[in-house]
Structures are given as structure tokens and as C-alpha cells.
Amino acid sequence: MDGNGRWAKKRFRNRVYGHEAGIDSVKAVIKCCLEWGIPYLTLYAFSKENWKRPSSEIQALWQLMKRFLHAELPVLVEHGVRVVHIGDREGLPEDICRLLDEAVEKTACGSSLYLQVALNYGGRQEIVRAVRLIAEKVKSGVLDPSAISVETINTHLFTGEVPDPDLLIRTSGEFRVSNFLLWQIAYTEIYITDVLWPDFREREFLKAVEDYQRRERRFGMTSEQVEAREIAHLS
Ligand code: IPE
Ligand code: MG
């Protein structure tokens, strides 16, 4: 969710104004997922690297996060959204942890949309954590090193059983991954738009989905193979 700062700057306002406007895009995108039947959504809200920002901005982001969770939790419950946190709890403010716990608990039965909120998240750190968890199992003898597979790594990431993302949307025209779901995006389609996050609403999301629908996902195969598989699937 990039571009809040630039959006505010263009309006001669402070960065927090941009983050506030970004909340409405979050709501719009969640609404679209529910309406269009998109079952999984991951929002990259605060990275490990975002701690380098001025503390006043970080504080404002937590305030906004709290306000959002507080105001939107009943709405999320009502619409069957299941909230899950990905990232490290350690380092997050206590009240944020408490609100997250509450959101996770109260939405646990939601089955319309699985919403992963990446907070204090870093892809590399997630992989390090997975390696440590796996190493512990090897050390204690419950896991044989030769049995370690892609699936083993998958299940030790925060994202666990959640399927790899089909589409990664990058707003504000940046051509980089910024430590987001590094392992999981191996075959993800990437969509980059110049639109700044606060302007990313239904129309822009639809454009991204339509662009995705025109892609041919080959996963290493040839075009002919993909077509043959599709025909076999239809018959
Ligand atoms: C939102 O956009 C990112 C976070 C919520 C941390 P930015 O704050 O990075 O906006 P720009 O890149 O300065 O425009
Ligand atoms: Mg940015």
C-alpha cells in the first residue's frame, strides 16, 4: 500500500493525511474482494524496515491502525472476514497486539475472505524464522533433514496453509518487492500501477484484476501445454 506520503504532499498536507486517506482504499479493496469472491487478501501495512521512519509518523500509523480495528471489527465480523496477522508480534505496541488478538479471535469463524494483515513483517525475517523452526525439529529428531521439502518451508511460514498469491499489486509506480512474501511470490503475477494508494479504489482494483485475467500463467510450461491442459479441463 504505497504512495500515501506522495498523495498528501501533492495536496500540501502532512504524510499522516495520506495514511488516513489510505484507510478508505483498504475498506474499498476489502469490499471488492467480498463482492467479487476473492477469497484471500494480504495487506502490507507495516514492514520491518518501516521502523526507520520518524517516530511521530510511526505513532500516527499505530493510532490509525487502532482506530481502524476498533471501528471496522463489527463490519468485518458481519461480512465473514477472517483476520489473521502475519509478521512478528514482538516489537509491536502492546495495545496493537491486544486489538489484533481480539480481531483474530472475533473473526475466527469468518469464511468469506481470509484477510492477512502484514504488520512488523519482512519476507527475509519470515524465512529465517521458518529455518529456525525447522532446525529445532531436526535437532529434536522429529524431522529428518532429507525430508525437508518446499512444502516443509511453506508450512513453517506465517502464511502456513494459505495458497501462494496469484496477483501482487504494487501501487505508486515502484518496481520493487520490498521484502514482501519473498518465498510465496515465486510464480505470482505482478501488477504495477502509478496510482497512489489513496487513489486505489474499486475502479483501479478492477483494472488490476482485468489485467491479471489477460495473463497466461505457464508455470514453466509452453503455451501449447497450457492450452491443452485448459481444453482437457473443460471437457
Ligand atoms: C504507505 O505509503 C506505506 C505505509 C503504510 C507504511 P508511504 O508512506 O510509503 O508513501 P510514500 O512512499 O512516501 O509516498
Ligand atoms: Mg513508500
Distances in Å between the alpha carbon of 120 and those of 25, 50, 134?
Answer: 20, 8, 22
Whether residue 145 lies inside any domain: the answer is no
State residue 235's pLDDT score.
85
Which residue's CA lies nearest to atom 6 of ligand 1?
A: 46
Overall number of domains in the chain: 1
State residue 216's pLDDT score.
95
Which residue's CA lies nearest to atom 13 of ligand 1?
A: 5
Whether residue 9 lies inside any domain: the answer is yes
5 lines ligand 1 (CB under 6 A): yes
CB atoms within 10 A of CB 198: 25
Whether residue 63 lies inside any domain: the answer is yes
The verdict on pTM exceeding 0.85 is: yes
Nearest C-alpha neighbor of 102 from the set 85, 118, 121, 126: 85
- The CATH number for 66's domain is 3.40.1180.10
| Tens digit of each residue's pLDDT (9 = 90 or more) over 3-27 | 999 999 999 999 999 999 999 999 9
Q: What does the block give as the cell for 15?
A: 504524510
Domain ranges, residue 201? 4-121+158-234
| Tens digit of each residue's pLDDT (9 = 90 or more) over 137-156 | 999 999 999 999 999 999 99
Contacts of 123 (CB under 8 A, 6+ apart): 177, 179, 180, 181, 182, 183
| Tens digit of each residue's pLDDT (9 = 90 or more) over 145-186 | 999 999 999 999 999 989 999 999 999 999 999 999 999 999
5 alpha carbon, closest ligand:
1
Whether residue 62 lies inside any domain: the answer is yes
| Tens digit of each residue's pLDDT (9 = 90 or more) over 38-94 | 999 999 999 999 999 999 999 999 999 999 999 999 999 999 999 999 999 999 999
